[in-house]
Amino acid sequence: MQKIKRPIIIIDEELCTGCGDCIPSCPEQALELVDTPDGLKARLVKDFYCDGLGACLGACPTGALIIEEREVDPYDDDATIERIKEVAPEMLETHIEHIKEHAHQLELHVQTDQAQETVECGCPAAQTLTWEEEKPLSEEAVKLPSQLRQWPVQLDLVSPNAPYFQNKDLVIVADCVPFAYANFHQDFLKDKALAIGCPKLDDANAHLAKIAQIIKTGNPRSVTVVNMEVPCCFGLVRIVQQAMKEAGKNIPFETVTISIKGEQLQ
């Protein structure tokens, strides 16, 4: 089997506690727990069982799971289905729905006379996609007022001690969300303090430290994370969860995922 460069799950064994929370969250059942000298640890069973979409990322309480691009075996859905039938047949329907929902994100390949050539590869967040414009509900333009009540908004620029963070509902947003979700201001921003960033391109450690400080000093009433559906974007959820732990705060926490077509998935 010819290896290709594609996204795949990587497990940091130092962070992994062997809790197993990631296993039921993987529709492909590509993860398992194994005994090691340091106790139980999650391991990838086979490269070709992992589709690289990262459905398991948000389930890890310690942030031990990440997505990286590596030279690995191509994803094999036929082999994956056989494994699911063997180890967790109750997950088969979940897997099928997962693949249908994310088919546009999976790598596409064509067979050539020489070898298997990758047509689309790399992180799903960077894949080039387009779709037809849906018919608007009304041809008449409507101007809605902005719900933004602060400046700046970028995590790199905001001050943890800013007055607009004090005792507010805090929303932490992946910076692609407002472009994808048309009703962002009304649904997520109204009456809330805002911080935005990109878990893929920004400094994750710096964001973790900044968010922890915002939560510790601002004492927010609640925290909501709004991220895009692409796997790397779920890193924002892990960053905020870890920041809440470091801040020592137990406050209401919610996550919302937006599809690349601008639909609220959860």
pLDDT attached to residue 177 = 96
Q: Find the mean pLDDT for residues 12-22.
A: 91
Quote the tokens at residue 146: 């902005």
pLDDT at 122 over 50: no
For residue 152, whether the previous peptide bond is cis, meaning omega lies within 30 degrees of 0, is yes
Higher per-residue pLDDT: 131 or 55: 55
User: Fold identical between 4-126 and 163-258?
Assistant: no
Is the whole-model pTM more than 0.85?
no
Q: What is the DSSP string of 126-147?
A: G-----PPPPPS-SS--PPPP-
What is the b/e burial string over 38-47, where b = at least 16 CB atoms within 10 angstroms of the residue's CB? Answer: eeebbebbeb
Tens-digit pLDDT profile for residues 159-176: 999 999 999 999 999 999
Of the CA atoms within 13 Å of residue 85, those in its CB half-sphere come to: 6
Tens-digit pLDDT profile for residues 186-239:
999 999 999 999 987 888 888 999 999 999 999 999 999 999 988 778 888 888
CA dist list (Å): 188 to 49, 70, 167, 257, 259 = 36, 36, 17, 12, 15
- Domain locations along the chain: 4-126, 163-258
Top-confidence range, 102-116, 120-134, 174-188: 174-188
**CA 9, CA 16: separation in Å to the nearest integer?**
13
* Domain 163-258 indexed as CATH 2.30.29: no
Tell me the CATH number for domain 4-126: 3.30.70.20
What average pLDDT score do residues 66-91 get?
A: 90
